[in-house]
Structure 1
Amino acid sequence: MKNGKWIDISQPVHDNMAHWPEDIPFSYELSFTKKQTESVNIGRMTTSLHTGTHVDAPFHFLDNGEKMIDLDINHFIGPCLVADVTSLKTITREALENLHIYGAERLLLKTLTVSSPNIFPKSVPCLTVDAVDFLKESDIKLLGVDVPSVDPLDSKELLIHHQLYKHQINILENVKLDHIKPGKYELAALPLPLEEGDGSPVRAAIRVPD
């Protein structure tokens, strides 16, 4: 991989992409065609803010939490570490200690050997609360995962979401990392400035630092 070349780690966005079973699926249609307007095609989309590659705002799980426009965009740009944890079903403090993540600032966890963006998983690997505490101790400001949630898919308490929020660590979900080798990169994963948003779609990319 050449230095400076940005590599897309976003899930492709289309009508058949996976979504939370009871949530709104993504759909795209042309509202007006070039033939109708005599100048341009104009499309529109309908989607949950938590379909595909996206950022969670604290308002997603806290009624008084910050919304997308309140988040510091600097947390979504900068150095990051891609770490391979594909052998783990539970990501513990000890597992993170072995990754030597201090100084990474942003951590992307590769939990899948093969990404299947069109299939919603039955279960996902998750961090322990103690592991999240270690992220704070390591000065991590953003955690990214290649699955739909940092918590178990059937969780109502969302303990990991809340613990990440407690430590002011932003959440990036559904990145695509099966084609990425572990190592140090730069990340760009800017969410939209949605004034009322509990989440936002993201076009995420990484590159090898110069």
Structure 2
Amino acid sequence: MFVDLSVLLNEETPVYPGDPQTHITPAGLLHKDGYKDHYVCIGTHVGTHMDAPSHMLENGKNLNDFPLERFSGRGVLIEVNESFNIEEVKSAAVQKGDVVLFNTELSARYQEDVYFTDYPAMSEEIAQFLIEKEVGIVGVDTCSVDNIDGFPIHKLLLQNEVLIIENLTNLKILRGKNFRVHAFPVKLAIDGAPVRAVAELI
């Protein structure tokens, strides 16, 4: 069984403040051209998406520089109440290569402005702990792992080639479950891309 962890991507999909809106324009009409086709203009960090190191680092890797194995791994769910808690993270038995997902339940407010202005962020202590554990991916159901200027958590994780997924959803379904996460981005030689993130229950 698979659980869809991605939000729907369309012209109404909210975007991070300052990012470009999504535009979907017909490029082929069935009654006129005999087929349907669309021109899709999106930002690389819209909807459920993955950040590559080049998102924040001058000489960082692009998504296409990583082997496919890096986009899949054992899933670990960590609950976040009002803030990220290092003790919760330490007790989660995180292992090398894991995909660590943080559930704040804020995805329920994805269509509201507050989703982008009032959310908990990861601490440097937690980020450093996950780096030392050599996790593969960190995922959140919020718009960012940072909520202060300068994006220090992004930079810390990405400098160590820990990939980041933001704007996840449906994480509460994974409570008490064993699962693997698969999140394959489009093969683009750039700083990020939307992903169809899914959890495979095992």
TM-score greater than 0.5 by the shorter chain: yes
Distance in 1 between residues matched to 2:14 and 2:22, nearest whole Å: 9
- Secondary structure of 1:189's aligned partner: strand
Q: Secondary structure at the match of 2:50?
A: strand
What amino acid does structure 1 have at the position aligned with 2:201?
A: V
> 1:156 and 1:71, CA in 2 relative to 1: closer, same or farther beyond 3 A?
farther
1:179, distance to aligned residue in structure 2 (A) = 4.5
Q: How does 1:20-39 map to 2 (within 5 A)?
A: 20-37=16-33, 39=34
Q: Are residues 53 and 114 of structure 1, via their aligned partners in 2, closer, same or farther at CA, if it must alter by over 3 Å?
A: closer
- Structure 2 residue 8 is matched with structure 1 residue 15: no
| Structure 1 vs Structure 2 CA RMSD | 1.8
Equivalent position to 2:162, from 169, 177, 180 = 169
Matched, 1:107 2:100: yes
CA shift, 1:118, in A, is 2.4
> Which has the higher mean CA deviation after the structures are superposed, 57-66 or 96-105?
96-105
Structure with the higher helix share, 1 or 2: 2
The number of residue pairs the alignment matches comes to 199
1:63-78 alignment, distance < 5 Å: 63-78=58-73
Match of 1:123 among 112, 118, 122: 118
Q: Percent identical across equivalent pairs?
A: 24
Per-residue deviation at 1:112?
Answer: 1.5
Q: Which 4+ residue blocks in structure 1 deviate beyond 6 angstroms?
A: none
CA drift at 1:29: 2.1
Q: Which residue of structure 1 lines up, in the alignment, with residue 136 of structure 2?
A: 141
TM-score normalised per structure 1? 0.87
SS of the residue corresponding to residue 127 of structure 2 reads helix
Q: Which runs of 5+ in 1 are unaligned?
A: none
